[in-house]
Structure 1
Amino acid sequence: MNLADVALFRTIASVGSLSAAARRMGTTPMLVSRRLAGLEAELGARLFHRTTRSLSLTAEGEAFLPHATTLIEARDSAFESVSSGGSVLGGVLKVTAPNVIGHSIIVPVVADLLAENPALRVDLTLSDGVIDIATAGLDVAIRVAVMKPSDMIATRVADNPYTLCAAPAYLARFGVPATAADLVGHPCLKLHAMDHWPFTRDGETHQLRIGGPFSASTVDAVRAACVAGVGIAMLTYWDVHEQIARGELVRIALMDVEPLEVGIWAVFPSRTHLPARVRAFIDGLRDRLHAHANAAP
């Protein structure tokens, strides 16, 4: 099987038309159509429904697509392992990550990789939403979640516990809550997707419904309101570690409950043939997070 034709099939599936695939590959629609027909003949199956106005995957094409991705990843991994003695990274590293961690952690890791590997390119998508990495053609997604390794093709990179915090001026004026019940008397700053704050007590998870004068769609906005003294926020440690280190925010420890422990995870589209550039990125990310955690007071 010609892997170039397999890669062409994956490109057609990604861009949605023969003409767009031809432009991306620097060839003609006629040649693309001919090569696709040859691949379909070799497989003994039609991969696309094609009309003059539309193109869509057949059931056989849907079934073949993940295998095509695995084949191309294996080829790329093989090339990387022998190019320049395996010591220099190349290709395009495609990553998605949450906004705050993306700016404060991911970008510095990427900067180090680019400085050490001139042939490497990085495409970073920052989003607080969940992106389908297989459909988007990404190498890895960095996610903050409660997750088990069996839930997805993922590896835990670092701990990232939820952290209650407030500005020193706010606490001096309104006092420090001592228990979960005390939070009811304080303005709580919430993310739109988080109407309840998760705590654990004796190994069990408890959800506390919170309310307050301010809610926002992004971590940045909630954190800024917290620093401004508007109220108490619950964000993850890596969202507020810099503000805590500078004294702009203070951690709040409650006597009867603990904030839920979550983690930073790297999620992959495939179980096999992880490219060297992805392994190097995960290693660099883990090293940076652990170094910061060990340096924290």
Structure 2
Amino acid sequence: MPMNLSDVVLFSAIVTTGSLSAAGRQVGLSPMAVSRRLAALEHELGVRLIHRTTRSVALTADGETFLPLAQTMLEAREAATVAFSERHEGLSGVLRVTAPHRIGRALVVPLIVRLMAENPRLKVDLTFSDGIVDIVAAGIDVALRVATLQASELVAVRLADNPRILCAAPGYLTAHGYPKRLADLDAHACLTLHAMDAWPFHQDGHPVARRIKGRLAASSVDTVHAACIAGAGLALLTYWDVAQDLADGTLRAVALTDAEPEPLAIWAVLPTRQHMPARVRRFIDGLKSVFSASLPAQVH
């Protein structure tokens, strides 16, 4: 006989509420009926799952082993229900996303607006931050990160290249000239982030961290970007921060003869790959399309 998922739901309710009667109230059953259903589940598994007393319940060792399996079964059932309902009714639920400010405003918001227009039952919660958000603690579905990722238990999906670009405003370059070599940066005004006092380059095939000293340091990419456009100096920003500025001539890229900036990528970071809701898959697929349609094959 196949396992009755209703009994698994009941088992989970008993664990959550801490009593047979409270679980029964949650699912609309009497304590006696709850006890019979629990006994049936234990009989099917051939183990005792819960110690019962007149006042409380406690998981047995076998119950502790079965609990994560039960949760996986219930999550799978929910994912299947959502997947097939969304096939007919469109995306639903709350999509929780965090992204850096500039990429969030330029790329995420237009995509989100389109997805919401196409799926009236979809809700979205956006958090824009240039810092690292703990997506597990915050209950985030997807985090966009511009980084060289470190090993972790999180799942990362590469979305696009995002090369670093050494750049400056035309007025600054006219007044101060173009740096030619990495060492020339010492003679230029460089705009730095508080969390990044060394700029990463590749030189002769090796990574090099060039310590940068400038008159202006800021806490956000937006501030460095604005100062760079205003002609305050050179900045090391990423392609998606400056793509429009390079296109319209507001900023110009600066290529060094003996070094090039360390490459980066944009990643979608997920708390887990299991039972990914359709709204998350559709959002990630949409981002891949946006990036592939916009990023040139080679950025100079």
Output one character per residue of 1:28-82: Cα deviation in whole Å (capped at 9) or x when no partner. Answer: xx958976xx9xx99649xxxxxxxxxxxxxxxx999987875565344212221
**Equivalent residues in 2 for 1:3-42 (5 A)?**
3=9
Residue equivalent to 1:156: 158
**Equivalent residues in 2 for 1:1-297 (5 A)?**
2-3=8-9, 44=50, 73-86=75-88, 88-147=90-149, 152-294=154-296
- Count of residue pairs brought into register by the alignment: 267
Residue equivalent to 1:49: none
- Tell me: CA distance 1:268–1:84, structure 2 relative to 1, closer, same or farther (3 Å): closer
Output one character per residue of 1:129-169: Cα deviation in whole Å (capped at 9) or x when no partner. Answer: 11111111111111111137887411100001111110000
The Cα shift of 1:202 comes to: 3.3
The Cα shift of 1:200 comes to: 0.8
Contact 1:162 1:261 in 2 (8 A): yes
Distance 2:297 2:14 in 1: 48
- Name the SS of the counterpart of 2:274 in structure 1: coil
Q: What code does the residue aligned with 1:89 have?
A: L
- Tell me: CA distance 1:196–1:2, structure 2 relative to 1, closer, same or farther (3 Å): same
Contact 1:6 1:72 in 2 (8 A): no
Distance 2:22 2:105 in 1: 43
- Tell me: CA distance 1:87–1:284, structure 2 relative to 1, closer, same or farther (3 Å): farther
The Cα shift of 1:294 comes to: 3.8
RMSD, aligned α-carbons? 3.7
Larger Rg: 2
The Cα shift of 1:213 comes to: 0.9
Output one character per residue of 1:225-258: Cα deviation in whole Å (capped at 9) or x when no partner. Answer: 0000000000111111121112111111111111
Output one character per residue of 1:165-216: Cα deviation in whole Å (capped at 9) or x when no partner. Answer: 1000000010000111010100110111001000012332100000111111
Output one character per residue of 1:82-105: Cα deviation in whole Å (capped at 9) or x when no partner. Answer: 115356111111111111111111
- Name the SS of the counterpart of 1:122 in structure 2: strand
Distance 1:168 1:119 in 2: 47
- Name the SS of the counterpart of 2:295 in structure 1: helix
TM, length-normalised to structure 1: 0.77
Unaligned runs of 5+ in 1: 13-17, 19-29, 46-61
